[in-house]
Structure 1
Amino acid sequence: MDRCCTMKQATRRLRDIVSFVENGHSVELTRRGKPVAVLISVEEYQSLHAPAKQDFWSALQEFRSRREDETDDCAELLSGVRDTSPGRKVSW
């Protein structure tokens, strides 16, 4: 957590907190010393709620069943199957 503040502080400084969160940080809100909520950016929220990727076997079965129709474009069939995020760093 980048920052922690009470609910009372949050109500007084909401504009500043939203700006802080928009810049990629997170803020934990507390009430009587206990955490009650976390504010995160929309991008982080969307990445947490992204649909789960298919495993290879399910994707292959779907590909084979759709290929029988011969109506779908191959690129369209494979879209969303491959993880396009950059891989880990490797040093040689």
Structure 2
Amino acid sequence: MPDQYSIAQARDRFAQIVHQAENGKPVEITRRGQSVAVVLSLSEYQRLTREKSKFGAELATFREKYQISTLNINPDEVFSNVRDRTSGREVNF
């Protein structure tokens, strides 16, 4: 659970709150006991707001980074027997 400060406390401890956020600990700000804001580090904010990439693009990046093509792996052979193709158990409703 993040540390929690009222707006008045946050005003008095602003430098401390920023330091906590920089060190990766989010700080919750409240007004009259209700949460109204959270102070995060810039890196955490950027992580949360960055544009999400598509699975295919990430897979291509992974394959390029780890040079999967040089391993001579045929995905059709590797994954051909992963799934059990039987009909499963009989269920009575």
TM-score range, shorter chain: 0.5 to 0.7
Q: Which residue of 2 aligns with 1:74?
A: none
Query: Please, what TM-score do these two structures have when normalized by structure 1?
Result: 0.60
Deviations 1:9-45 (A, max 9, x none): 0001101111111100000000000000000000100
Give me the identity figure in percent: 39
Could you tell me how far apart the structure 2 residues matched to 1:82 and 1:53 are?
13
What's the counterpart of residue 48 of structure 2? 48
Could you report, residue by residue, the CA deviation over 1:43-64 in whole angstroms, capped at 9, with x for unpaired residues? 10000011111132xx4xxxxx
TM-score where L is the length of structure 2: 0.59
- SS of alignment partner, residue 25 of structure 1: coil
Distance in 2, Cα, partners of 1:82 & 1:47: 19
Structure 2 segments unaligned to the other structure (5+ residues): 66-93
* CA-based RMSD: 2.0
Q: Aligned equivalents of 1:45 and 1:27: distance in 2?
A: 13
Give 1:1-92 correspondences, 5 Å limit: 1-56=1-56, 59=57, 78=60, 81-82=61-62
**Which 4+ residue blocks in structure 1 deviate beyond 2 angstroms?**
81-84
Question: Larger C-alpha radius of gyration, 1 or 2?
Answer: 2
Secondary structure in 2 matching 1:52 = coil
How many residue pairs match? The answer is 62
Structure 1, gaps ≥5 residues long: 60-77, 85-92
